[in-house]
Structure 1
Amino acid sequence: MRKRKWLLTTAAALVICLFWSFLSSLGTGGTLTRTESYLQDKVTQQSDAERAPNVNIKLIKIDQPSLDNLGQFPWDRSLYAQLISMLADAGAKAIALDVVLAEPGKDPESDAIMAETMKKYSNVILPVVFNFKARQDDAGELETESISYPADTIGASQSQLGHINVMQDQDSTVRMLTVGLKDNEQQMIPAFSVKLANYLLDQDHQINWNESKSGWYRGNERIPVNNRNQIATEFYTKPREEMSAETGYDSQSFFDVLSGNVPADYYQGDVVLIGPYAPGLQDEYLTPLSSTLKMYGVEIHANMVQSLVAGKFSTKADPAVNYVLIVLLTLLTILILERVTGAKAFLVYGGLAAGYILAWIVIYQFKSLFITFTYPFLAMTSAFIWSVVSHYVTERRERSRVTNIFGRFVPRTVVDEMLASGEEVTVGGQRRDISVIFVDIRGFTPMSEKLQPEQVIQVLNEYLDICTKAVFKWNGTLDKFIGDGVMAIFGAPISQPNHPELAVRAALEMKRQSAELEERCLREIGVPVRFGVGINSGPAVVGNIGSQMLRLDYTAIGDTVNLSARLESNAKPGQILISEETLARVKGKFITETIGEIKVKGKEKPVLVTEVLGEAEEGQEDVQLGENQLHVGREGA
């Protein structure tokens, strides 16, 4: 049994581990993946007090007022050249234009002015856009279909280029910064944010691609990018919140700066990002900060710049760690819960769940490492559910087994009452009004002398089976077998107002059912084996007697029981003797014959005894034979 349970438990643990590991390996962006992303978003969110935008990162917005004053897109490129020149001359550290200029402009002179500006100011960054294949051959790669560079007429150098690709997860949310992408010649093009962050970092912390080591470094520290050169980004501002020095990146309207309403020297020593900041320009993305409100691309780049400057890089643990966690949590849960049941199992599971949640948060806070939460947690929960169900099924099976076994030694009614009460079995009893029946086989000794022991047992078992079935048929409690005799109780443990009648009917049932066996015994062994039955009714103490720790016996004790036993000992073969008390309670229901008073052991006075001959006919009120005469009383007589 234990080996079978161990095998089942092992198989369950294996199935749980394989199931959740398989789902985890798919990473298909379903509900669980979205849940994982949601939890990571929540733990990375910073409070208003923690959100402190870098004051040296400023935005110039191509907003609706600018569009109203300068006209709709696309603008003449001389406008960009003019603003860039103003900012550069005023001492801005770097200027990034988040506007794609992939095609030559309509006015060649404007492109020439822009080209001259790019040549004059090396700290100007223009965007490169990678166009990826709609269907990637390898899920772990980013295969490029085409790359959009600034138009040749603008004349931007390689050092003035940075890609502006903002990668969205499968739920259309931007969480990752792609540090760099390789062009068709396998040359690494840094992200817009990388180029700008280097203007805010000192020489010892510059971010660069190390070709020989195939990795990105911030100074001497390797940046833990994934196989797509991505790193999780922090967000320091909420989407579309009103920009101010206190709550977000300083942002001014393109037109205000160009027209001089905001002086250019306001940006001295700052990194400036110029980009779309109006709904109609379609440069908006969801971020972990909101599932409905989008953030403009130029502000996302600003957050990425600050994230790189801060150098706090959160990473995801290797998939192998996830599989190990699934296995460990599954086995730990099952092993612990194999020893704990009931309410304690829920407490243990709650403790394990709380411990894992705490560990998950602490590891991120102190190590900036995301271990997978959803799949190991669900594996642990599955193990918990398995353990609870397994314990329940085992207990039900064990209860059924014990009930069946126990029911062969004590009455089934006693077993049911004990199990239903939910209480421990204890020594003690209570006074009850009951009927007690004793049955004994007459002629058992002569039969034993003529038969082999195996035959004796066979015959005895057949007689005892008849007695047992009769007692159970009439809702009695089989108290015990006493050698070749039987003791049964009616009226306990389940109360029965008509228990004397039930006891007599059970005795008559025994007499009827034993006729065939009696005839066979007489024919085969020449001995007429018959029953002698005694029945008495009255008060008795009913309950458990014996050893509290070793063995208990459910029985009845008292004078009522003793008299029943004495009546049985005086019964002749085939006789059913009842006491005066029982007769008074079943009067009119059976055909009886008065035997008279007899002297029994334990009684000072003689006891009136009556024999039950059968059931009274329908409509008869009283049928009694006595002094060799038949007395009949009928309704209305």
Structure 2
Amino acid sequence: MASRIATMRRAITTAGPLRLSVTLLVLLLALFIARFSWNLPLALSAERGLYDVRVDLTAPRVDQDPRVVLVVFTEETLTATGKRSPLDRTMLARALTNLDALGPRAIGVDILIDQPQPEDPVLKAALLDMKTPTFFGFSSNAENGEFVMPWQEAHMRNFFGSVASAPVRTANIRLDVDNDNAWRQWPNPAGRPPALLVNAITGVKGYERHQGSAIFRKAQYADRPVFASLPVDLFGNADTAAALKDAIAGKIVLIGADLPEADRFITPFTRLSGKTTPGVELHAVLIAQALDGSDFKRLPGWVIWALAILAVALGAVTGGFDLGARLLGPFVLAEIGLLGWLPYGLQGAGFDTYGLPCAGLGVGWLLALMAASTTARIVGAEQRKFAQGALGKYLPRDVAQQILAEPERLQLSGERRPIFALFSDIEGFTSMCQSQPPEVVAATLNEYLDTMSDVVLKHGGTIDKFVADAVVAFWGAPIARPDDANRALACAVEMAQVGERFKQPRDGRPAMGRTRVGLHWGDVVVGNFGGEGRIQYTALGDSMNVAARLEGANKSLKTAALISGEAATQMGLEHFRPMGRVRVRGRQKPIEVYEPLGAGDAVADKVFAGLYAAFERGDAAALQALRQRSAAAPQDKALAYLVQRMEQVGPGGVYDLD
């Protein structure tokens, strides 16, 4: 860990003030989002959605509440009474009279008597005979001007003023919703009389000015909802109502509508279930909370700041460390799990997490991770470029030891010598970069380049450079060996084989395309170039270009590795199968190309080379034999395409590559 911290300090020093300033600005933006995402329009919907889900998942399961019972007008009631709106007041009057006789603690009516009806005298008579404290819904034009006109408010005041001698009062039945029309919070305290229904009907002190999230509960048993609900029709007849005395006596009774199209609310439970809740039941939720004397614990502002700082710090530190894919994956998963769990854990522990960022923590963490990893990647690239002359990273160990012992072997001015030049590349790497997060691309590419570097060094090659996902290497400089041809061939085959492993996703690493290899033998100028203060040991010349063109030709020829005739002759043609004669861009002279056995689909076939040679001499039967071999091996696309080219260009012909 100490070495990692030291590496990060060096990276900060190397980054420079401008890059550090940009990174700091992004980190501050990440912190702002992590802290204030509930105030950002684009993030608010996500935050509310995640809040709803955690409320649903953490809501306690309880048995049926014995203190509150709902008496509701249903579709069956409307059918029987023949009235939909306003609700039948004769039925309401009978129900109130019969409920009053059963001895409830209090009755709340979530219905507005906001316009005159022929049945009003019946209802007034019933109210004047009431003994039970009864609270009718009331809403003023000042509070609810969209739905309550001044004349409606005046009618309600006159109506209930006429029954003032009875224990009948009005109560504010407002249920405030968020701007997404979902109900999650206690209504704002009543600014003027009457009091909210929950305060008026319970009389519980301390909730007159209460604010915060409502405490939702779920039924413990499927056949016993949290609040018992009985059709109002059962109380229209005194004899039927008397049979329900035990269900009513001593309880708070709430009368309202439970209809599919009226007075229904979206709640946090709607997010997963898709079901809405009648308003009368939401009043029961508030009443139960007040009777319990319960409330969520408040999260201090400093806790939210601390969580935001934690999210950004985790992202920045993780992105700033130069971690390999095997370490990065577990760290990232652990941090995502922690940041995702914290809001749910706090909600489950009884804290009010309405307003606590969840999506914001994730976005802030991701921005910090990307900012730090991008800076670290840029700094790392500069450091790698500066350290490119470090022998141990680019030369085999025995060669490096010789160079350290004889520094003059690294010619500053350059020298001409024959080498085996190798280029490798990943098919479709650009597309993968565009579809994956930067940290995944960086980790995947680093793992790939580390693996390919190990293969090159294992076979005694000198690593020239990395160009994005491309590896450039050569054999024969700075020190030539007698078996460089065999080493280069073995490296090309193993790189193609190892590349197959990266085509399958693993441990968070995405699938990569085929690794393509090109190998050529010829003269180049090798040496240290760039001046005394900033040098790079590299090879220059046409032979390097030919190797690069051969790597690219794999795509057209459907091969994994292509070796020029010059290189194959040095290595022994028995290790290859011929792939024809091609002309590459930028080079007029045709190149004989060969595919090494063991790379791609190339397998040993003693007859193949003879058939190819016979075709080159003009033997038509040889071409037919090759067609049959291709048909017998449909998976060998390189062979099929070779036969197609042979048919096209004929014996001795040259296939021009774009």
TM-score between the two structures when normalised by the length of structure 2: 0.53
Deviation at 1:179, TM superposition (A): 6.0
**Matching residue of 1:152:** 158
1:195 is matched with which residue? 200
- Alpha-carbon spacing, 1:32–1:318, altered in 2? closer, same or farther (3 Å): farther
Q: Specify the alignment match of 2:328 in structure 1.
A: 345
Secondary structure at the residue paired with 1:251? strand
Q: Give the CA deviation at 1:62.
A: 0.8
Q: Distance in 2 between matches of 1:65 and 1:12?
A: 65
User: Which of residues 245, 248, 258 in structure 2 aligns to 1:265?
Assistant: 245
Mapped pair 1:283 → 2:289: no
Corresponding residue for 1:368? 351
- Please give the residue correspondences for 1:322-333 in structure 2 after superposition, counting only pairs within 5 Å: 322-333=304-315
Give the whole-Å Cα distance in 2 for the aligned partners of 1:284 and 1:257: 23
Aligned to 2:630: none
1:67 aligns with 2:78: yes
Counterpart selection for 1:124 from 124, 134, 137: 134
* Deviation at residue 380 of structure 1 after TM alignment: 0.8
Letter in 1 for 2:285: N
Residue 454 of structure 1 is matched in structure 2 by none
Q: CA deviation at 1:373?
A: 1.4
- Per-residue deviation at 1:129? 2.0
Distance of 2:86 and 2:541 partners within structure 1: 102
Secondary structure of the corresponding residue to residue 167 of structure 1: coil
Q: How does 1:609-628 map to 2 (within 5 A)?
A: none
Is it true that 1:164 corresponds to 2:173 in the alignment? yes
Give the superposition deviation at 1:274.
0.8
Does residue 180 (structure 1) correspond to residue 211 (structure 2)? The answer is no
Pairing partner for 2:374 from 369, 384, 389: 389
Matched with 1:457 is none
The amino acid across from 1:152 in the alignment is N
* CA displacement at 1:273 relative to structure 2: 0.9
Deviation at 1:195, TM superposition (A): 3.3
Does 2:121 match 1:109? yes
The residue identity in structure 2 corresponding to 1:285 is F
Match of 1:356 in 2: 339
Change in 2 beyond 3 A, CA 1:367/1:357:
same
Q: Which amino acid aligns with 2:358?
A: F
Q: Secondary structure at the match of 1:82?
A: helix
- The DSSP-based 3-state class of the residue aligned with 1:372 is coil
Q: Is contact 1:133-1:145 (8 Å) kept?
A: no
Distance 1:47 1:19 in 2: 28
Structure 2: distance between partners of 1:134 and 1:430: 92
Structure 1 residues 91 and 490, CA, compared in 2 at 3 Å: closer, same or farther?
Answer: closer
Residue 236 of structure 1: aligned partner: 218
Greater length-normalized contact order (CA 8 Å, ≥ 6 residues apart) = 2
Letter in 1 for 2:179: Q
Residue 451 of structure 1 is matched in structure 2 by: none
Against the structure 1 CA distance between its residues 385 and 148, is the aligned structure 2 distance closer, same or farther, given a 3 Å change threshold?
A: farther
Structure-2 residue corresponding to 1:432: 483
* Change over 3 Å in CA distance of 1:489–1:61 after alignment to 2: closer
Any idea what SS the aligned residue of 1:12 has? helix
Unaligned runs of 5+ in 1: 137-143, 199-205, 217-224, 435-471, 482-487, 503-637
Q: Distance in 2 between matches of 1:145 and 1:318?
A: 42
Equivalent residues in 2 for 1:441-452, closer than 5 Å: none
1:268 aligned partner, one-letter code = A
Cα displacement (A) at 1:61: 1.4
Query: Which has the larger Rg?
Result: 1
> 2:384 matched to 1:399?
yes
Instruction: Answer yes or no: is the 8 Å Cα contact 1:24–1:375 preserved in 2.
Output: yes
Which string of whole-angstrom CA distances, capped at 9 and with x for unpartnered residues, describes residues 407-443 of structure 1?
9868998998797832285796863378xxxxxxxxx
Find the residue that maps to 1:38 and give its secondary structure.
helix
Match of 1:207 in 2: 205
> Relative to structure 1, is the Cα distance of residues 129 and 432 closer, same or farther in structure 2, using a 3 angstrom cutoff?
same
Higher strand fraction (1 or 2): 1
Alpha-carbon spacing, 1:16–1:134, altered in 2? closer, same or farther (3 Å): farther
2:227 and 2:127 mapped to 1: Cα distance?
A: 29
* Residues 139 and 173, structure 2, Cα contact 8 Å, conserved in 1: yes
Cα separation, partners in 2 of 1:48 and 1:496, compared to 1, 3 Å: closer
Distance 1:132 1:34, change over 3 A: farther
**By how many angstroms is 1:174 displaced?**
1.4
Q: 2: CA distance between counterparts of 1:338 and 1:135?
A: 56
Task: Tell me the alpha carbon deviations over residues 46-74 of structure 1, each in whole angstroms, 9 at most, x when there is no partner.
Answer: 68981423023111111122222233033
SS at match of 2:266: strand
Q: 1:430 to 1:167 in 2, by over 3 A?
A: farther
Aligned to 1:96: 108
Cα shift readout 1:257-278 (whole Å, capped 9, x = no counterpart):
2124342523111111111122
What is the CA deviation profile of residues 31-89 of structure 1, one whole-angstrom value per residue up to 9, with x for unaligned ones?
52222222222222268981423023111111122222233033564543332232222
Shift of 1:23: 8.5
Structure with the larger helix share: 2
Query: In the TM superposition, what is the alpha-carbon distance from 1:25 to its structure 2 partner?
Result: 4.2
Is this contact kept in 2: 1:78–1:114, CA < 8 A? no
Residues of 1 paired with 2:311 and 2:361: CA distance? 7
Write the letter of the residue equivalent to 1:207: K
**What letter matches 2:268 in structure 1?**
P
Q: Which moved more, 1:347-356 or 1:107-116?
A: 107-116
Using the alignment, how far apart are the partners of 1:66 and 1:193 within structure 2? 26
Match of 1:533 in 2: none
CA distance in 1, matches of 2:145, 2:172: 21
Tell me, what secondary structure is at the counterpart of 2:121? helix
Match of 1:250 in 2: 228
Cα distance change, pair 427–104 in 1 and its aligned pair in 2 (3 A): closer
Of 509, 520, 524 in structure 2, the residue corresponding to residue 476 of structure 1 is 524
Q: Does 1:40 align with 2:48?
A: no
Distance in structure 2 (CA, Å) of the matches to 1:45 and 1:70: 37
Aligned partners of 1:405 and 1:286: how far apart in 2?
65
Tell me what 2:275 maps to. 293
| Partner-residue secondary structure (3-state), 2:275 | strand
C-alpha distance in structure 2 between counterparts of 1:23 and 1:147, whole Å: 47
CA contact (8 A) 1:432 1:492 kept: no
Match of 1:508 in 2: none
Deviation at 1:288, TM superposition (A): 1.4
CA spacing shift, 1:60–1:318, aligned 2, 3 Å:
same
Residue in structure 2 matched with residue 83 of structure 1 by the alignment: 95
Q: Secondary structure of the residue that 2:139 maps to in structure 1?
A: strand
Q: Which residue of 1 aligns with 2:499?
A: none
SS of equivalent residue, structure 1 residue 74: coil
**CA distance, structure 1, for counterparts of residue 144 and residue 96 of structure 2:** 35
In 2: Cα distance, 1:381 partner to 1:21 partner: 13
Distance (whole Å) between structure 2 residues aligned to residue 326 and residue 47 of structure 1: 23
Q: CA deviation at 1:328?
A: 3.5
Offset from partner CA, 1:558-607 (integer Å, 9 cap, x none): xxxxxxxxxxxxxxxxxxxxxxxxxxxxxxxxxxxxxxxxxxxxxxxxxx
Q: Secondary structure at the match of 1:386?
A: helix
**Contact persistence 2:176–2:185 (CA under 8 A):** yes
Change over 3 Å in CA distance of 1:480–1:356 after alignment to 2:
closer
**Mapped partners of 2:160, 2:372: distance in 1:** 69
Distance 1:382-1:23 versus aligned 2 partners, 3 A rule: closer
* Aligned-partner residue type, residue 323 of structure 2: T
